[in-house]
């Protein structure tokens, strides 16, 4: 299905019947990351998978894709189909979008699950790294993107998931660079939403990899305590849907 947002096509799919559950992918990913999970969740839920702007089959909306703008796209899809009391499962950047959605439309969200994600804004060091990334992409996008995907997996798991890494590289290298830089800029400038997660009155959960090279588990653990959010520890890295699929299924079903 296609939603036209500011004349830009946004691709999404709907599977199953039951309570609405929105799956939001992370940076350098697309909705196909959920393809193994969809048959499981759609047995009891209406599962909505969205290609966020600039990724998958969705177009580039602007020079900066803010978390608020992407949350509004999700809201338009949800409203179009009259879904109520949705649950959101967001991986990494998808979690940032989910948090923005909760802040803007708090009464329409029943559950929020952050998978390898964080409610905190970028640190000063992280912002510097994102600025550096924008420069590197401008100079040599192929090298940067290949390294960025490789680094989503811990050193100990890169060989095991080599096929998944290569598929992700193939998918990303076919995308317009403008969409990737728009997402980086949006993440760099995103609002801190620790208080949003803490004050959220619906069901909430953090699922974090103990060896996550992007969002350290020690940081996630402290934020879970601060925001009164239950946390599930996975024996893996940042790509929980690939590295810890069976564990995630057991948590969600």
Q: Count of CB atoms within 10 A of residue 117's CB?
A: 28
Cα separation, 247 vs 253, in Å, equals 10
Structural contact between residues 223 and 198, judged by C-beta atoms closer than 8 angstroms? no
What pLDDT, in 10s, does the model give residues 102-154? 999 999 999 999 999 999 999 999 999 999 999 999 899 999 999 999 989 87
| Residue 74 in this model has a pLDDT that exceeds 90 | yes
Q: pTM of the entire structure?
A: 0.97
**Domain residues of the chain, as ranges?**
2-252
What crossing angle do the helices spanning 67-80 and 93-104 adopt, rounded to 10°?
70
Structural contact between residues 24 and 57, judged by C-beta atoms closer than 8 angstroms? no
Per the document, the length of the chain is 253
Cα separation, 18 vs 142, in Å, equals 42
Among candidates 165, 186, 183, which has minimal Cα distance to 175? 183
Cα separation, 187 vs 85, in Å, equals 26
What pLDDT, in 10s, does the model give residues 219-239? 999 999 999 999 999 999 999
Structural contact between residues 127 and 140, judged by C-beta atoms closer than 8 angstroms? no
Class of domain 2-252: alpha beta
């Amino acid at each position: 299905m296609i939603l036209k947002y500011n004349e830009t096509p946004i691709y999404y799919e709907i599977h199953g019947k039951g309570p609405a559950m929105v799956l939001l992918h992370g940076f350098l990913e697309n909705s196909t990351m959920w393809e193994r999970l969809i048959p499981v969740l759609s047995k009891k839920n209406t599962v909505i998978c969205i290609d966020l702007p600039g990724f998958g089959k969705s177009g580039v909306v602007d020079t900066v894709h803010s978390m608020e703008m992407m949350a509004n796209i999700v809201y338009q899809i949800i409203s179009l189909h009259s879904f109520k009391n949705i649950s959101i499962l967001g991986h990494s950047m998808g979690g940032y979008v989910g948090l923005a959605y909760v802040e803007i439309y708090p009464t329409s969200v029943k559950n929020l699950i952050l998978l390898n994600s964080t409610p905190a804004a970028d640190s000063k060091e992280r912002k510097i790294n994102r600025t550096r990334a924008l420069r590197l992409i401008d100079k040599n996008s192929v090298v940067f993107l290949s390294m960025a995907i490789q680094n989503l997996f811990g050193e100990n798991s890169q060989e095991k998931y080599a096929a998944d890494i290569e598929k992700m590289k193939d998918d990303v290298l076919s995308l317009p660079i403008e969409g990737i830089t728009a997402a980086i800029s949006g993440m760099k400038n995103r609002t801190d939403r620790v208080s949003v997660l803490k004050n959220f009155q619906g069901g909430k959960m953090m699922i974090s990899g103990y060896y996550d090279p992007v969002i350290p588990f020690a940081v996630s653990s402290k934020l879970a305590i601060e925001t009164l959010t239950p946390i599930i520890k996975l024996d893996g890295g940042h790509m929980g849907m690939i590295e810890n699929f069976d564990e995630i299924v057991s948590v969600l079903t």
